[in-house]
Amino acid sequence: MLWILLVGCVPPGPLALAPLRSDDPSVIADVVVDGSVAEGWSLEASLVLRNPSDSQRRRIDLSETALRVDGRPWEPCRHAADSDTLRQIVLLAPGEEKARTLKCVDVPPPRETLSLRVSATHASSGAGVAVLEYSRVDP
């Protein structure tokens, strides 16, 4: 009920988001949050994934993506029903680049900020994440 009261004044339609910062320049995303209170909100991110390494393979697992809206705790991305699960794990050879689209549903609309956390590891170094932060831009 509180969530509905908080977003009740958010206008329907796409919300403009501008990149603030990224701790990993090899993961780039243009992000759009779209919807309405009546229909629900979803996120679509057009990702460019790069492996700048000369010698190590890189694994990016979009199925483990998490979202943080307006400083709330991290929540897993609820992937859209039409998501291609085979394309959610991306293996990149040294110097390779690939594009992917990530869709998450049931996303609270950001009033100020939205962050994405993506699992991005190198073959030899183990766990790693890329965190991308965005701020809402009012038209």
Domains of the chain (ranges plus CATH)?
Answer: 11-137 (2.60.40)
Locus of tokens 């050879």: 93
Provide block-wise average pLDDT over 10 residues at a time, the chain (139 residues).
Answer: 45 83 90 86 93 86 94 93 79 93 92 94 75 88
Considering only CA atoms, which of 55, 130, 62 is closest in space to residue 93? Answer: 55
Is residue 108 within 8 A of residue 73, CB to CB? The reply is: no
pLDDT value for 3: 41
